[in-house]
Chain A
Amino acid sequence: MTGVAPHRQANTDGQDAMVDSRDIFKGLKVVDFSWVGVGPMAAQVFALYGAEVIRVESASRLDTFRNGQPLAPGTGPDRSAYWANVNRDKLGMTLNLRHPGAPDVVRRLVEHADVVTESFAPGFMHEIGMDYESLRKLNPKMIMISMSMEGQGGPHLGYKGFGLVLQATAGITGLTGWPNRPPVGTGVAYTDWFATHLAASAVICALEHRDRTGEGQYIDLSQLESTIWGLDDAIVRYSATGEVMTANGNRNERAVPHGVFRCAGEDRWCAISVLEDAQWDRLRTVMGYPAWARDPAFATFDGRQAREDEIEAGIAAWTAPLVAGEVAERLQAAGVPAYPVNDARDVQSDPQLAARGHFWQIEHPVIGPMTWDAPAYRLSGTPAYPQAPAPKLGQHNEYVYRDLLGYSEQEFVELMVQRVAE
């Protein structure tokens, strides 16, 4: 496999690195038929920890992310940093699943696989003879996961969507907004991250079951159902109290003040939250103990909540001429939770994210230097490191078809000529 040479890192516990992070899933073979966001991101978790992940793509019907912004200059399917950020450390192969010659390739891939992933519209895999019941006959120990909008089967079978609109069905959009305005949602394909983390967990759970019993299984992940887990206690609360939760701006039913305040400069803001009564006293001290804040009624949460408008107006007047970063530093120094609202530039230069090594830099053969985001977890004994940039379209075809699937050179050439392998 081409790319960056592997480099073992000393673990942060100072012990001998007996186990490398890439040993964790070493030998695990993932055949990744998924596309766009969720499936590739879930499979990437296994690639980062050493699995052999074969990303199977169609050259005639490109993954829409391969044209996703931002694109490096030029032409061709290998310019998207969006695509490259969610497919690093994988092998790339092309295969036309609708070609009459495809079933033999699929058979070899499935026989080779421990895990098969897919995120097509429900029904497609069945249509091409690649549903779980068919594939398990080839390899009963294989684990298969489907990641669709609303699940396999049911009255909404085949409903279309993507994270930006599915977050509405899931209840997230309705809970994001100001009380007197239409809801807005998050501005990103937000359901993707529930589905991704849960899909990775699901596959590990299936591996646990297989270790114990030798048995493979099928996982039907509905991105809608995964995301409903992100609604706090909204479901239980309704059943216990009848309360229907609604969007409430930046306010918090248990903390006042709890808001985002305009600072000096264009569209600069600072988030400030008082989660305990003692933090209120610190906040007003940092503000210079203004007259409006001296009311002893504000010493308690109930007292503050009763006059939240007044408190927010007072804080906004204080922050307006100040620099957001300075507001946050002064408040944090005094023991009040606060942070500037980071935009994309701020995130890239954030000192904490930088110290954590949150962004990996790696050279991509077409894009050049690019930034990748690391997961939010750091394993002290087996620290993860990136190894290879995302593959160019079909980059590892020869290796996969010949070395992994056992086709002869002549057969491989024939698959290319017949346009099976594209």
Chain B
Amino acid sequence: MSDGPLQAYRVIDLAGPYGMLGTRVMAGLGADVIRVEPPGGDPLRQRPPLDSAGVSTYWHQMTAGKKSVVIDLDSEAGRAAFWGLLESADVLFESGQRARLESLGFGWQQISRRCPDLVYTTISPFGLEGPRASWLGGDLVAMAAGGLMYLCGDPDRAPLRVSVEQASAQVGLQGMVGTLIALRARKVGARGQRVDVSMQEAISNTLGNSQQSFVMDGTIFQRAGGGRATGGADNRLVWACADGYVAWGRNPASMGLLHQWMLDEGVEPGFDAEAWAQRPVAGPGAPTREETQALDARIAAFFQRFPKMYLYEEGQGRGAMMCPVSTVTDLLANQQLNHRRFFHQVPQPGLPTPLTQPGAPFKMSVSPWSVGPSPQLGEHTSAVLTAHGAGAAGGGR
């Protein structure tokens, strides 16, 4: 048993990519997360790219710290073993498996009858009910349907998703929160219940003030390239620099600081900081497009002289909200993250060198974060299934 804060809970993990992050974080928080795999192994073990031992890097990321139990759900013995597992568990957490589970006799009605205290968390593209509940989804579809995509991208091109899956991540974290609330409900007398989580809604939750703005003002926020999506104000945030990009917002309060910084670097600013600081962002007296373009050209030329980590640390030291547009290698070199020992080097059986994993998403002063490798196929089958007398797993090893 772990000493993490969720040590009291066992989670049966049948989540696919949509939401699997939720059980991954729960494993880090000390829950006993059991990945149930078919005899040939979970297909996600082969999701490209693969490491030098032929195992998916995505698999490593999403199953680190989990257990692997092989159960053949197509066999009678396997289904019996799975019932045994469910009876031993607090949570069943799945995505993309609901129809198959129902066809095998593991529908919510059957589960709640036999395991009345089990929390059954089910993640789907649109939720379980409603006119489009059966529509096909995915990360791209959820980004479009939830409304975030419309706020992302350059105005002259198609709206954009993020190239790493955000609907999958958001719904996984919300699935975790909903699951934890359902577990708390048991402490005040509730039985198990079904936690029905929608990818579309998880994205709709990320829209900031755009919904209220439409309802109150009729304003429809537009995507603004590297700026904040708004009803039209000019607010560029992404700037090229010597070795990449930085994010920084020009606003009345930041003009004096930038002006001084340019002087200190021996650059003639070429603008009147006080006048800019007093001009309204919008409405009467606001700068024309030509004026802001001329100003932005001077700012852009200044930023292009320096590398992003210099702009980040020097700018922040001066009180500017300056951020580097980080790549993975920038993150691994980020001295704040390294000072806090955020990344872990985790030995992975089968690989000659450790894998780098992100560490605790929050630091708890007393409760530790659990770190471990991804499991070998069936590594925990006998230990888990014999522990509660479930017997043979129907083809497991």
Contact = CB atoms under 8 A, between A and B. Distances in A.
A187 B158 contact: no
A261 interface: yes
Nearest to A347: B147
Contacts of B215: 81, 348, 370-371
Contact of B363 (A170, A182, A219, A239): A219
Contacts of A245: 163-164, 328
B174 A197 contact: yes
Contacts of A185: 152, 226, 237-238, 247
Interface string B346-381: 000001011111111111111100000000000000
A380 B353 CA distance: 46
A307 interface: no
B61 A233 contact: yes
Given A188-B207, A201-B176, A381-B191, A355 B25 contact: no
Contacts of A97: none
B362 A225 contact: yes
A231 to B, nearest CB: 5
A342 B321 contact: no
Interface string A313-344: 00000000000000000001001111111111
Nearest to B247: A168
B198 A356 contact: yes
Contacts, number: 538
A156 B21 CA distance: 28
B382 interface: no
A225 B174 contact: no
A77 interface: no
Contacts of B178: 375-379
Contact of A212 (B8, B62, B145, B324): B8
A139 interface: no
B25 to A, nearest CB: 7
Interface in A141-161: 145, 150-151, 153-156, 159-161
Contact of B217 (A70, A229, A253): A70
Interface stretch (A100-108, A268-276, A285-293, A401-409): A268-276
Contacts of B237: 164-165, 168, 185
B190 interface: yes
Given A13-B112, A275-B138, A380-B194, A375 B336 contact: no
Given A344-B150, A346-B147, 19 more contacts: A23-B185, A173-B247, A184-B238, A186-B166, A220-B365, A232-B168, A233-B57, A235-B61, A240-B49, A260-B158, A269-B144, A337-B141, A339-B135, A347-B211, A350-B145, A373-B205, A377-B178, A378-B128, A379-B194
Contact of A260 (B159, B171, B196): B159
Interface residues of B, number: 160
12 contacts: A13-B193, A81-B216, A167-B247, A177-B160, A200-B180, A221-B361, A222-B340, A233-B60, A337-B138, A342-B149, A344-B147, A350-B145
Interface string B109-146: 00010000000000000111111110111111101111
A367 interface: yes
B102 to A, nearest CB: 16
A167 B166 CA distance: 13
Contact of B177 (A174, A188, A201): A201
A297 interface: no
Given A150-B336, A184-B153, A229 B25 contact: yes
A293 B128 CA distance: 34
B240 interface: yes
A9 interface: no
Contact of A201 (B62, B180, B217, B244): B180
Contact of A173 (B135, B194, B325): B325
B49 to A, nearest CB: 5
A238 interface: yes
A382 interface: yes
B20 to A, nearest CB: 10
A208 interface: yes
Contacts of B60: 233, 236, 240
Interface in A162-201: 162, 164-178, 181-190, 192-194, 197-201
B157 interface: yes
B162 A175 contact: yes
Interface in B162-220: 162-166, 168-171, 173-178, 180-182, 184-185, 187-202, 204-217, 219-220
A201 to B, nearest CB: 6
Contacts of B169: 194, 229-230, 232
Given A249-B160, A335-B136, A352-B130, A235 B331 contact: yes
A258 interface: yes
A270 B143 CA distance: 11
A250 B160 contact: yes
Contact of B51 (A49, A173, A241): A241
Q: Which 7 A-B pairs have the closest CB atoms?
A: A377-B178, A355-B130, A381-B193, A187-B229, A168-B247, A205-B5, A156-B336
A340 to B, nearest CB: 7
A378 to B, nearest CB: 4
A286 to B, nearest CB: 13
B29 interface: yes
B287 interface: no
A232 B165 CA distance: 7
A412 interface: no
Contact of A233 (B58, B138, B174, B361): B58
B247 A186 contact: no
Nearest to B57: A237
A370 B144 contact: no
A373 B199 CA distance: 14
